[in-house]
Structure 1
């Protein structure tokens, strides 16, 4: 059973392009924040042995490398998914021939 708010929000989103763009931007912001949170948690666990008032050189280098690898991996996965999506229609067309 839907509440009045959720049904109203759905109809507004579909009829108001400005609201729709706003909602899409907010969803995108949330995704970025979740990605940053995940990266921070992962790299913190991997690199921080004992937190102190300052980062030692080893921890700093580890954090930099961890973040760079995380970004590289994320970019690789996105590119790979994009290639797969582009290739999929060609593959399905070949199967139907």
Structure 2
């Protein structure tokens, strides 16, 4: 096997992994920003209230579901 091809394959795999990490970080940032603005209306204390926790959970889940749906549609 050609050593330069092996290095190129390793580099491509590394770049793909880093791209995926960046996409996950971007998605988490968007979820955090969007859901925080929607669910945390006052000054947060040391703990979230039960309604804030529920809102954040539901918001994040809906965001993930929609992202998954959009990705699926784009792949078709």
TM-score by length of 1: 0.67
Query: Which entry has the higher C-alpha Rg, 1 or 2?
Result: 1
What residue number does 1:27 align with? 19
**1:64 Cα deviation (Å)?**
0.7
Alignment root-mean-square deviation, CA: 1.5
**1:53 Cα deviation (Å)?**
0.9
Residues 38-86 of structure 1, C-alpha deviations (whole Å, 9 max, x = no match): 1111100100012111111111110011011001101111111122xxx
Q: Equivalent residue of 1:52, what SS?
A: coil
What residue number does 1:46 align with? 38
Q: Equivalent residue of 2:36, what SS?
A: helix
Q: Tell me, which stretches of 5 or more residues in structure 1 are unaligned?
A: 1-11, 84-97
TM-score by length of 2: 0.83
Q: Of the two structures, which has the highest relative contact order with CA contacts closer than 8 Å and spacing of 6 or more?
A: 2
The number of aligned residues is 70
What residue number does 2:56 align with? 63
